Structure 1
């Protein structure tokens, strides 16, 4: 079936954009995207292992190359978090580090051509495997919903349940405009995780489609191979900026939202 679908450019692209899914309950609505879950966990474990290697032989003297690189990266994220968040919380920097480096690792899978992953898996009977987790809206929504719950936690910790509820119902128009305040605040709070998820998903999914289109162009003819190589190289160089930028934007907006959730309106 997979080989038949690869005969046409449309089916080829649709094939590579299809997730490997497992339905938890027959006839139910809960479907797990196995490729997204497995790849996300692997990327998380990989970055933890990479950081562990840096700390295993850490020294206060002259650091090794890998230790120095990791320290530079962590100091960069820590500085951005401290400059953006002005509260006393010690959780913000670990949250920022987790979001940035985990998303960065997942985004970097885009640099591997889809067939380099799909073809070996087909040999063992796995015909669908979407390699980039952040090109799956379920993954980006999972990340943004986690940030949403952290926003609620930070707001309750800062203002208490009473203060948070009072502000939610009375700001910004006062207690006599309670229905309008409630609608406005619901829209404001819900739009933040939705925009976080859709921004990251849209950029990664769109980039994945363009990569597949270039790959299809390369197989059309000799001229197509040359054009595909040029366009592919250009698009890959462009994504060397997009991949860390999208991770950075997601991290920074998350920290901004956590800071705003503690502010009084």
Structure 2
């Protein structure tokens, strides 16, 4: 389908924007033979950018005359530490760096949603068009967290850490006893196994699906707003719809700033909470 046809077909426009640049088209929801190249590239670039910024801050640390960037970094670190103190039962060398990494990386990936929806995809289409690529087959999703693979991948990493903390604090037999005797005691072992398994699996699923759902919905709203003037020529109607589009975009962008920050915060806090629940000393709380 050509670009002009896409402009005349809102459904095709939305479907095109919601399709990843992949090694091949997925045959199912869980197709492990497909790599989403845009997800990998943007996630890695944002992670590399954060590492570069952190390195620069570390090289120029100053107690007497801190830079604005250092001051912002110190505020973020202090904010994350406050959340850990409120939730995690005791000091831990891993939790601080992990929580900080989760918060800033998820926030950076979410923030890509603030770019105009057609900016990078149009540039990418234009570049590949110089080499004769068909625009209708050029895809690019710039927000990694609008892809379920990203959010569930992050949640799976947290789940592996939950298992590690359970084994570390309770031991293999202690973790097994939790499945056998929680929450209804030794006379309901089959029910306990089912309930505890559901409870444990719900943790990574809730983490991944919550982040994906909120960011995917936000991206979809931006696309719907873009449809107001999609394919519109120079006419009187354009003078009516374009100002409305600008106002709606601005209003949703301001609201979405809260959403992307809140979702990064929730993902970080739930990660700390789940790891704290896995720690043995959390049993007393």
> Which TM-score band (shorter chain)?
over 0.9
Counterparts of 2:158 and 2:52, CA distance in 1: 24
User: How many residue pairs were aligned?
Assistant: 264
Render the CA deviation track for 1:76-122: whole Å, top value 9, x for unaligned.
11211122111332111111001100000000001101211011111
Note if 1:168 corresponds to 2:168.
no
Match of 1:245 in 2: 262
Q: How does 1:1-265 map to 2 (within 5 A)?
A: 1-3=1-3, 4-23=5-24, 30-125=33-128, 127-219=138-230, 220=232, 221-222=237-238, 223-262=240-279, 263-264=282-283
User: How much has 1:23 moved relative to structure 2?
Assistant: 4.0
Counterparts of 2:80 and 2:65, CA distance in 1: 22
CA contact under 8 A between 1:156 and 1:164: conserved in structure 2? yes
Distance 1:106 1:217, change over 3 A: same
Counterparts of 2:241 and 2:170, CA distance in 1: 61
Counterparts of 1:189 and 1:252, CA distance in 2: 17
Distance 1:29 1:161, change over 3 A: closer
Counterparts of 2:94 and 2:216, CA distance in 1: 31
Q: Structure 1 residue runs of 4+, over 6 Å off?
A: none
CA-based RMSD of the aligned residues comes to 1.9
User: How much has 1:174 moved relative to structure 2?
Assistant: 1.5
CA contact under 8 A between 1:24 and 1:30: conserved in structure 2? no
CA contact under 8 A between 1:19 and 1:129: conserved in structure 2? yes
Distance 1:25 1:237, change over 3 A: closer
Tell me the SS of whatever aligns to 1:19: coil
CA contact under 8 A between 1:19 and 1:33: conserved in structure 2? yes
The TM-score, its normalising length taken from structure 2, stands at 0.88
User: How much has 1:254 moved relative to structure 2?
Assistant: 0.9
Counterparts of 1:24 and 1:94, CA distance in 2: 36
Tell me the SS of whatever aligns to 1:81: helix
Uncovered stretches (5+) of structure 2, i.e. residues with no partner = none
Counterparts of 1:17 and 1:24, CA distance in 2: 13
Distance 1:52 1:152, change over 3 A: same
Distance 1:212 1:255, change over 3 A: same
CA contact under 8 A between 1:218 and 1:229: conserved in structure 2? no
